[in-house]
Amino acid sequence: MVVNTIAFGPEAPGNLMAQIAADTGGIYRPVATGSTGSSVMAADADDLALLESLNLPVEASAVMAASFLPGHLGLANVYDYFDTEAEGASRVIHMSYTGVPAFDNPGSIKELSINIDPSVNQLRLVVSGKQPDDEGCTVSDIRKVDVFTPTMGPNDRWIPISPPLKGITPSDWDIRNNRFDDVLIVNNPAPGAWKFRTYYYPNNCIPLAAAAGDAVAEGDAAAATVDATAAPSDADAVSNGPPYAFLMNVSVHSTIQLEGQLLGLTANQGVAGDEVTIVGMLLDKNGTLPATAMLALVEGPAGNTLLVLKDDGASNDGAAGDNIYAARFSQTLYGGGYGVRILAAFKDPANPANTLIREWNGGFWINGPRPDLQRCGGPNDTDNDCMPDEWERRCKLIVGKDDRNEDPDRDGLTNYQELQHGTLPCRADTDNGGEKDGSEVNNNRDPLYPKDDKVLVLDKIRIRPLNSSLFIGWSRPISYTQMLAYISTTPDDPGQPIEMGQKGDFLLTGLQNDRTYYIRLQGLNDGAEGDLSDPIAVTPKADPDMPSGTFLIDNGAERTTNRQVTLYISATDTPLEGAAQGSAAHQTDLYSTLFNVVSGNVQMRFSNSMQGIQSAPWEPLAERKTWTLDCNPSEVCTVYAQFKDGAGNESLIVNDTIVLDLNRIFLPVINR
């Protein structure tokens, strides 16, 4: 049996609720109960601007409303979603409105327009208000809900459903009204744009008996017009008068639905600092559908976060263009319940000119310090540095030391800032995009999304030792406005930076021979700072160039009838222009002749196997050497050779081959 669970308020056992939902295949939803403090903080102006830039056909402020809904509205919203899921329907949109003035003040009417596609066989609208509507002369308010269908003309009047109006409201509409809720169910709704509007106004009526001319006692007449000031007990119970608060939810029975998944959790749970991947997929009977925009609103204990889900292959979403959308969420600084709303906009498959919407709701639980009880200290923070112990251990931070203000990965963010932004304190570029985390945060980019990094990854670095110098080169030089080199003689200290320009190579002089230097490169691009490369150890030498050498077996013969052969050898320590210095190294060139010393004293060694060359003894260079082949008759025999100069530079390993033909008959040629 599927069990959906609700954690109502911070005192609810959210971990148990999440576990039960996970074990039964249900949905876990936390519901905020407080109206003050950071725990109900709405999304900021940047999030609203981001949402509006996606051009969704909804009011941004209503989508991004604070997670706390006054009165019973928070529970009403979750119950409606669970009912929708139980019926096999799909939620289209949830919109919440608070601080709404009374009709007909500006902003008093809240209108929602939704496109209905031909796949929909049932439409449901749920309006739930904080203030009751008793539709009589009591301490109450009047809630009006109207509908405008796609078949109506611009001069037609809106159709009332709260209450319905005989002769105007269609008789086949299923309408259910009560004090707090109005529900509309329409079977086989006409495709197109359906509009819904809701508004409130105060009840200022007089007693019905008085209106009819009947005599009314003075006390009764006063009671009929009582207001919140005169009857505080009644006012507290029903919260009459503006500002008003209500929600409008739309759901449909359709072949198109939005499915969400929360990855990186165990039984819907994680610990503070965990990263959660939020995944969304639009599905119909033929498979997946592409979205024009998909976003997730995460409602956490310390505030709301808006994420854009992407299908780019760089957001833990699988392959680019596979219609699977995802975003990484790491702002799990505090323990508690995290609600997740995914909203997707997409083109109507039957009419691409129309934009459709679907919504998915879910949630997860984070074990960690609650923001209202233990910002610092407590069982999860034994060193009182405001960072959960388990999170510190992941990057080998010191539990038992207040290291919140340290920056071990040198990315420009302190450990505590890393926790707040969901980045790693042991990796300067958490998303591996090329730009270090602090640079991204300071420039309002996402440190968890690699494709917005303004500095490319340094993928190829070449450092060549010379006499008292180093030649440094890097790939894609035009991608950087400046390249820095950090020079140090100790591996843990980056040292001071040196500007190398943007040509792609740089000659660093004035170094000490036979001393190991550790080189790190950092690319800059218009104020954006790249991650420092890993340190590369390199040692300048008077003679850093390896010798060059080659040899021939029996002076290049293809076959031999004797295991005893003669090796003809040629080698030199003088740099030969264009000679390779290794499979991934430079070739000797003008730098070798301008800077480097030729040490001479070349030695050589030989072996019948590649494995044996490393242990073969060195001997002085000679032009010829007698050698015994070690192979079977009729096989191709290979001999390996290597050369070394007086500075200890070893050459590449070279080889030559010859066929051992012991069965061949040798007939001397005699001339008469």
| Contact between residue 644 and residue 603 where contact means Cβ atoms under 8 Å apart | yes
- Give yes or no for a contact between 529 and 632, defined as CB atoms under 8 angstroms apart: no
Predicted confidence (pLDDT) at residue 498 exceeds the cutoff of 80: yes
Residue 321 belongs to domain with CATH number = 2.60.40.1930
Task: Enumerate the β-bridge partners of residue 572.
Answer: 548
Q: Are residues 474 and 428 in the same domain?
A: no
* Position 65 confidence tier, pLDDT thresholds 50, 70, 90: low
- 111 and 51 in a single domain? The answer is no
Q: Does 441 share its domain with 473?
A: no
Residues 588 and 633 in one domain: yes
Q: For residue 79, what are the contacts with CB-CB under 8 A and spacing of at least 6?
A: none
Residues 358 and 380 in one domain: no
pLDDT band at 403 (very low <50, low <70, confident <90, very high): very high
List, in sequence order, every residue forming a beta bridge with 196; answer none if it has no partner: 112, 147
Q: Which two tokens stand for residue 251?
A: 């759901």
| Among 450, 485, 510, residue at a domain's last position | 450
* Chain mean pLDDT for the chain: 85
Mean pLDDT on 268-276? 88
Token output for 568: 């003809």
110 and 187 inside one domain: yes
Q: Are 324 and 260 in contact (CB under 8 A)?
A: no
Q: How many helices (H) and strands (E) does the chain have?
A: 11, 36
- The residue segments making up the domain with residue 580 are 548-660
Of the candidate ranges 134-148, 392-406, 555-569, the one whose mean pLDDT is the lowest = 134-148
Give the range with max mean pLDDT: 57-66, 195-204, 660-669: 195-204
Say whether both 223 and 116 belong to one domain: yes
Antiparallel, parallel or unpaired: β 5-8 and 28-31 = parallel
Q: Look at residue 4 and tell me if it is in a domain.
A: no
End-to-end CA, the chain: 108
Q: Closest Cα to residue 342, out of 291, 387, 412, 392?
A: 291
Q: Residue 205 — pLDDT band, cuts 50, 70, 90?
A: low
Q: Which tokens go with 129?
A: 């208000």
Spatial separation of the C-alpha atoms in residues 317 and 344, rounded to whole Å: 15
Report the C-alpha gap between 89 and 119 in whole angstroms.
12
Do 271 and 366 form a contact (C-beta atoms < 8 A)? yes
Whether residue 586 is predicted with pLDDT greater than 60 in this model: the reply is: no
* Lookup: tokens for 388: 């959960």
pLDDT at 665: 55
Q: 543 in a domain, yes or no?
A: no
**CA dist., res. 672 & res. 195, Å (int):** 117
Across residues 94-108, what is the average pLDDT?
93
- Residue 207 contacts residue 224 (beta carbons within 8 Å): yes
Least Cα distance to 423 among 397, 449, 401 occurs for 449
Question: Domain for residue 314, yes or no?
Answer: yes
For residue 611, give the CATH number of its domain: 2.60.40
Residue in 580, 551, 552 with CA at minimum distance from that of residue 651: 580
Centre a 10 Å sphere on the Cβ of residue 219 and count the other Cβ atoms it contains. 8
List pLDDT tens digits, range 419-450: 888 899 999 999 889 999 999 999 999 898 88
- Rounded distance between C-alpha atoms, residue 87 and residue 238, angstroms: 31
Residues 110 and 158 in one domain: yes
Decide if 140 is inside a domain.
yes
Within this chain, do residues 277 and 193 fall inside the same structural domain, yes or no?
Answer: no
498 is a domain residue = yes
Strand 559-560 vs strand 654-660: parallel, antiparallel, or unpaired? parallel
Omega before residue 243 within 30° of 0, cis? yes
| 388 — pLDDT class (breaks 50, 70, 90) | confident
Number of domains, the chain = 5
**Could you tell me if residue 666 is inside a domain?**
no
Give the CATH number for residue 487.
Answer: 2.60.40.10
**Do 306 and 51 form a contact (C-beta atoms < 8 A)?**
yes
At residue 329, what is the residue type? Answer: F
pLDDT in tens, 522-575: 999 999 999 999 999 999 999 999 999 999 999 999 999 999 999 999 999 988
Q: Do 342 and 260 meet the contact criterion of CB atoms below 8 Å apart? A: yes
Report how far residue 172's alpha carbon sits from residue 185's, in angstroms, rounded to the nearest whole number.
9
Name the domain boundary from 236, 253, 270: 253
Interior angle at CA 342, CA 337 and CA 344, nearest 5: 175
Q: Which residue has the tokens 């850093």?
A: 544
Q: Are 525 and 455 in contact (CB under 8 A)?
A: yes
Do 138 and 209 lie in one domain? The reply is yes
List beta partners, residue 338.
364
Distance CA 94, CA 50 (A): 19
Comparing 662 with 413, the larger pLDDT belongs to: 413
Tens digit of each residue's pLDDT (9 = 90 or more) over 226-238: 233 333 333 333 4
Same domain, 98 and 244: yes
Q: φ, ψ for residue 53 (rounded to 5)?
A: -70, -20
Return the CATH number at 194.
2.60.120.380
Tokens of 224: 């009929």
Domain end call among 538, 566, 595:
538
* The pLDDT of residue 323: 96
- Alpha carbon distance 523, 345 (integer Å): 38
Q: What is the pLDDT of residue 222?
A: 29
pLDDT value of position 395:
87
172 shares a domain with 41: no
For residue 394, count other CB atoms closer than 10 A to its CB: 14
Q: 636 has which bridge partners?
A: 659
Question: How much of the chain exceeds pLDDT 90, in percent?
Answer: 63
Q: CB–CB of 521/494 below 8 Å? A: no
Per-residue pLDDT at 553: 97
> E strands, 319-437, where?
325-329, 336-348, 351-367
pLDDT digits (tens, 9 = 90+) for 601-646: 999 999 999 999 999 999 999 999 999 999 999 999 999 999 999 9
Residue 610 falls inside a structural domain:
yes
In a domain, 73, yes or no: no
* pTM, 2 dp: 0.68
